[in-house]
Amino acid sequence: MRSLLSECSQRVKLVQGKKLTLLLLGGLLSSGVLAAWPGLALSEKKSTRADAAAGKRLFERHCALCHGIDGKGGRGPALNRVHLAHAPDDTALKAVIADGIPPSMPEGWFLNEEDVANLAAFVRSLSKIPSDPVPGDAARGAGVYAKSGCSGCHITAGAGVGYGPELTGIGDRRSVAFLLKAISKPAAVLPEDFLLVKATTGSGETIEGIRANEDTFTIQIKDPGGHYHSLRKQDLTELKKLRGETPMPSFEGVLSAAEMQDLVAYLASQRGKQ
What is the reported pLDDT for 10?
52
Residues 258, 169 within the same domain: yes
Given a cut of 50, whether residue 40 has pLDDT beyond it is no
Question: Average pLDDT of 20-25?
Answer: 43
Contact criterion met (CB below 8 Å) for 50 and 118: yes
Residue 113: inside a domain: yes
pLDDT in tens, 102-125: 877 889 999 999 999 999 999 999
Q: Indicate if 164 and 260 belong to the same structural domain.
A: yes
Per-residue confidence band for 81, with pLDDT thresholds at 50, 70 and 90: confident
**153 and 230 together in one domain:** no
Q: 206 and 124, same structural domain?
A: no
Q: What is the pLDDT of residue 131?
A: 72
Domain range for residue 222? 196-242
The CATH number assigned to the domain holding 233 equals: 2.30.30.100
- Cα-only R_g, the chain: 30
Q: Which helix (H) or strand (E) holds 5?
A: helix 2-31
Residue 219 and residue 234 in one domain:
yes
Q: What percent of the chain has pLDDT over 90?
A: 53
pTM of the predicted structure, to 2 decimals = 0.67
In the chain, % helix, strand, coil (3-state, to 5) comes to: 45, 15, 40
Of 182, 196, 191, 189, the residue nearest 252 (C-alpha): 182
Q: Which of 123-127, 169-173, 179-183 has the highest mean pLDDT?
A: 179-183
For residues 78 and 173, state if they share a domain: no
32 within a domain of the structure (yes/no): no
CATH code of residue 101: 1.10.760.10
Q: Three-state DSSP class for 214?
A: strand
